A = this chain, B = another copy of it.
Amino acid sequence: MNRVIDDPDQVTEGTLRGVLAAHPDLLVATDHPRVLRHAGDRPKGRVGIVTGGGSGHEPAFLGYVGPGLCDAVAVGEVFASPTAKSFHAAFKEADGGKGVACLYGNYAGDNMNVKMAAKLAAKDDITVRTVIANDDVASAPREEADKRRGVAGEILMWKAGGARAAEGADLDGVIASAQKAIDNTRSIGIGLSACTIPAAGKPNFTIEAGKMEVGIGHHGEHGIAVLPVAPAKEMAGLMLERILADLEFGGEDVSVLVSGLGATPLMELYLLYGHVDEILRAHRITPRFRFVGNYFTSLEMAGVSVTVTRLDEELDRLLRAPARSIGLTVAG
């Protein structure tokens, strides 16, 4: 893979420098070199929202900082958790006296570092509560849902939590809405090629030509099955079968997010969305919100993920609320 980088060990630094230069209206640097904060006013008198995660998933995570979304982000190395210190610094940046909701994905490193950071923040009299996204249905059976990874469904969690914080809800309310968003969200991915961490220089997993890995994780974690590449219609069927088996429906509309994993052309994402839309409607499920694009990626991995969120009145209102960021803008 030929890359647009300088020193392979400094890609995160270079990315942050470019992001700050490109979006001074959205993001500003802080005293901690791996923490960015929303360029607007600090969340004084309301709940602050923090997220964080490894680099290489852009626009996640830093691309979801902005009005109506997150207030601060802790940035890790490529595919690695941010440190406890950086989560702690992000909590301080996002604290406006009403507590901080840390909304992040279920990975061992993040869990450990967020827990340590919350303890450090408690000494500063900052209350931190968490919602841990576990939307990836392929990563563990339903009975062990607490072992599931967080993937592109995190975007819905940030949107719901951020909108609720902007409405002025207290920490309990923000946590409840973010938790509801992720509890009603299921995702699954299909990997079509591997990717390489620049500093490693070669992929730590492989996907053969002509094969697809159903249920692959955002870092190449093993999925459910390696199968011959199927037509897009079958891919959509396979993915929705898993999602719909896991999320019971009683006539609710949904939000659908189709995200590329990096190298798959946008035209293929739309082609897949056409099938997803058709299959959902055949199940009498209406896609009320539709997002198609590279929302949560894994470097140059080819492939796609599908995320379905079951809506109620509250989630509908929170998804419609205005928001502005690199990754997601809602006019409101």
Binding site for B on A (CB under 8 A): 1-7, 11-12, 14-15, 17-19, 21-23, 55-56, 58-59, 63, 190, 192-193, 207, 209-212, 229, 231-233, 235, 262-275, 277-278, 287, 290, 292, 294, 297, 299-300, 302-304, 324, 329, 331
Contacts and interface: CB of A to CB of B under 8 A. Distances in A.
Nearest to A273: B18
B209 A2 contact: yes
Q: Which of A264, A267, A271, A287: most chain B Cβ within 10 A?
A: A267
Contacts of A1: 192-193, 302
B231 A268 contact: no
Contacts of A267: 11-12, 15, 55-56, 58, 299
Contacts of A290: 21-23
B263 A300 contact: yes
Given A264-B300, A300-B264, A270 B19 contact: yes
Contacts of A324: 331
A271 B2 contact: no
A31 to B, nearest CB: 20
Contact of A268 (B4, B229, B304): B4
A20 to B, nearest CB: 8
A4 B193 CA distance: 12
